[in-house]
Amino acid sequence: MHLPYAGIVVLAAVLGPLLGVAGLGLGKLLRIPRRSVSAKMAAVFTFTGGALMTAMLLVQLAVKARAGSSGASSELIGVWLGLDVALDVYLGLGTGLFALAMLRHPRFGPWLGIPGLPIAAGLLVLNLYTFPTPPADAGLVDLGPLVGLWFLAAAVQAWRSLRWAETTLAREILGDKAAGAPDAGSAAQGN
């Protein structure tokens, strides 16, 4: 069964925004209970990677649609390969920084952070070493699926951590009020 072309275009258009929003959410979660610069930077890199993913997929579909059976020119293929590597650079940086933020996080820890570091480094090294040829086409391994599995594990753990995050944030808010700190409403009224 093949997905209709319109379905493929819609899927290509939504994957990047979904990745970007997931990156922002994971970055927010990793900044609980303490601030993390690496989590914040990872969220930005992953969000940007999502935008590049959308651009790459839609350019790829448009080039293939226009070229038809005659095949695309090497220049046009070069455009989408460049976008593909740009995507992998941003996802590699996002993955590495998320992994770094996870190392000491109470809900993620080294079990997810440690494998993320070499996965991210491998993605960056292989893509930059073989540029502009994709690593798989250069006889090496494509680490994209491994990055996807790592993000899937991170998403599952994030989902499992939602109640913890809610409880932790509630404690912080109640703790601030109990300590006499003004809430946002009274501070805005010029208390």
pTM of the model: 0.86
User: Per residue in 120-132, pLDDT tens?
Assistant: 999 999 999 999 9
Question: Looking at the predicted structure, is the pLDDT value of residue 186 above 50?
Answer: no
Cα distances (angstroms) measured from residue 162 to each of 29, 36, 67, 147, 157: 8, 18, 47, 23, 9
User: Per residue in 83-135, pLDDT tens?
Assistant: 999 999 999 999 999 999 999 999 999 999 999 999 999 999 999 999 999 99
Residue 1 pLDDT class (50, 70, 90 cuts): low
Output the pLDDT for position 46: 98
User: Per residue in 62-73, pLDDT tens?
Assistant: 988 887 767 788
Output the pLDDT for position 182: 54
CA atoms within 13 A on the CB side of 17: 6
